[in-house]
Structure 1
Amino acid sequence: MHRLRAPALRISLPARIPPAPPAALLRRTASGGRGVSAEELQAARKWLEQLHAETIPRSIGELSFSRSSGPGGQNVNKVNSKATLKVPLDALLQHVPSALHGEIRRSRYVAARTSALIIQADDSRKQNDNAHSCYRRLYEAIVDAGRHAIPGETSAEQAERVEKLYVDRALSRRVLTATRQKSDNERRLKSKKTHSAKKSSRRGRGDD
């Protein structure tokens, strides 16, 4: 097997999205309840919109070529046309929003022993075509991860209902707490009055 490192391109993956501010955590229910804020999901959507197969840098993984064992004529077993792309998970996840990490780790291309994505292509007799297919499949794997990790965009009305639910729930807790405190105070006051009345009664009988 001959291992060739493809030249690095000047194009690159979209910049990784920074973590969402703490205030965004209040709207996690609106994002599908997956422990990711609505702002993080929206940022991941924008990142995916900017991603294209051609923008994935060829230097992100190791590309090698070998002889194909499948059908395709006499030339198949004589030329190193089969392309294999090995992309370390750590290297890939550095560029990908954290909202997609879980799904990418579960990709069918992940080889558990190597902690890397192993993508192969031997559809063509040409190395360049098969190499392009590998990067295309990597792109499709990332998009597929986004499709599973990111729910449908929440409407403004639904987001408003969720936020109102949080406000109502917080208000209900405050009312319940105040009611309990008032009830406890009334019980303590009643207990003191009862105890005071008993002491007064004993004094009147000369028990003290």
Structure 2
Amino acid sequence: MRVALPSLTSRPLRRWYATGRGATNASEDEIQAARKWLTKLHAETVPRDIGEMSFSRSSGPGGQNVNKTSSKATLKVPLDALLKHIPTALHPEIRSSRYVAPRSNSIIIQADESRKQNDNAHSCYARLHQLVVEAGRNAIPGETSAEQAKHVKDLQKSDNERRLKTKKQHSAKKSSRKGRGDD
């Protein structure tokens, strides 16, 4: 059974959010929609017909079986086909992935850990899923709980009070020197 990835419509981008690799230009609605989309995403929901799967002979040690079977799996997914299923907030992260081949404008994922074609094919789709999840982690800022926001506000307040106290002490020290002529 094939299940399509949930797709989102693109909207004009309104806000800058700092992320791990830079700033992403996305609206609050897009961020919320992308979070919701990512919670529904599972490795099984990645459509198997999104890309082209090919098999070839694996390299390296493994005895004579390596020379006989084509067990290495290579998944080639065109970026255009993948990005139309993914929220626009994740597009820059996906385009900067190490799996992207710029000349062919596609994502190429290879797996040859197992001696079985089927296991290697599943491994390719699992890596594609992991790529999308990682892009979501890097591109979408986490939600801040009310408790965490209060904690940060308290820390900022105490830091500001400490800074003002230090400035007053420094000012008092300077003003006490004015009368003596120690400058």
The answer to whether the 8 A contact 2:2-2:45 is kept is: no
Residue equivalent to 2:29: 39
SS in 1 for 2:138: helix
Query: Aligned to 1:122, which of 100, 103, 112?
Result: 112
Query: Aligned to 2:63, which of 43, 64, 73?
Result: 73
Residue equivalent to 2:9: 18
Give the counterpart letter for 1:17 in structure 2: L
With normalisation by structure 1, the TM-score equals: 0.64
The answer to whether the 8 A contact 2:74-2:108 is kept is: yes
Change in Cα spacing, 1:57 to 1:149, as seen in structure 2 (3 Å) is: same
SS in 1 for 2:55: strand
Highest CA radius of gyration, 1 or 2? 1
- In the alignment, the residues of structure 2 paired with residue 80 and residue 35 of structure 1 have an alpha-carbon distance, to the nearest angstrom, of 44
Change in Cα spacing, 1:154 to 1:18, as seen in structure 2 (3 Å) is: farther
1:48-87 equivalences in 2 (<5 Å)? 48-87=38-77
1:34 to partner: Cα distance = 2.9
- In the alignment, the residues of structure 2 paired with residue 104 and residue 94 of structure 1 have an alpha-carbon distance, to the nearest angstrom, of 12
Instruction: Point out the structure with the larger helix share.
Output: 1
Residue equivalent to 1:144: 134
- In the alignment, the residues of structure 2 paired with residue 46 and residue 70 of structure 1 have an alpha-carbon distance, to the nearest angstrom, of 42
- In the alignment, the residues of structure 1 paired with residue 121 and residue 105 of structure 2 have an alpha-carbon distance, to the nearest angstrom, of 21
- In the alignment, the residues of structure 1 paired with residue 2 and residue 102 of structure 2 have an alpha-carbon distance, to the nearest angstrom, of 31
The answer to whether the 8 A contact 2:25-2:89 is kept is: no
Query: Aligned to 1:93, which of 83, 90, 104?
Result: 83
SS in 2 for 1:65: strand
1:139 to partner: Cα distance = 0.3
Q: For structure 1, which runs of at least 5 residues remain unmatched after alignment? A: 1-8, 159-208
- In the alignment, the residues of structure 1 paired with residue 93 and residue 103 of structure 2 have an alpha-carbon distance, to the nearest angstrom, of 18
The Cα offsets for residues 115-144 of structure 1, whole Å up to 9 and x where unpaired, read as 000000000110000000000000000111
The answer to whether the 8 A contact 2:54-2:74 is kept is: yes
SS in 2 for 1:34: strand
Give the counterpart letter for 1:129 in structure 2: D
- In the alignment, the residues of structure 1 paired with residue 2 and residue 141 of structure 2 have an alpha-carbon distance, to the nearest angstrom, of 32
With normalisation by structure 2, the TM-score equals: 0.72
Aligned length in residues: 144
SS in 2 for 1:118: strand
1:152 to partner: Cα distance = 1.4
The Cα offsets for residues 133-162 of structure 1, whole Å up to 9 and x where unpaired, read as 00000000011111111111145696xxxx
1:112 and 2:102 aligned: yes
SS in 1 for 2:68: coil
Output the aligned Cα RMSD.
2.0
- In the alignment, the residues of structure 2 paired with residue 10 and residue 152 of structure 1 have an alpha-carbon distance, to the nearest angstrom, of 30
- In the alignment, the residues of structure 2 paired with residue 141 and residue 34 of structure 1 have an alpha-carbon distance, to the nearest angstrom, of 18
The answer to whether the 8 A contact 2:2-2:48 is kept is: no
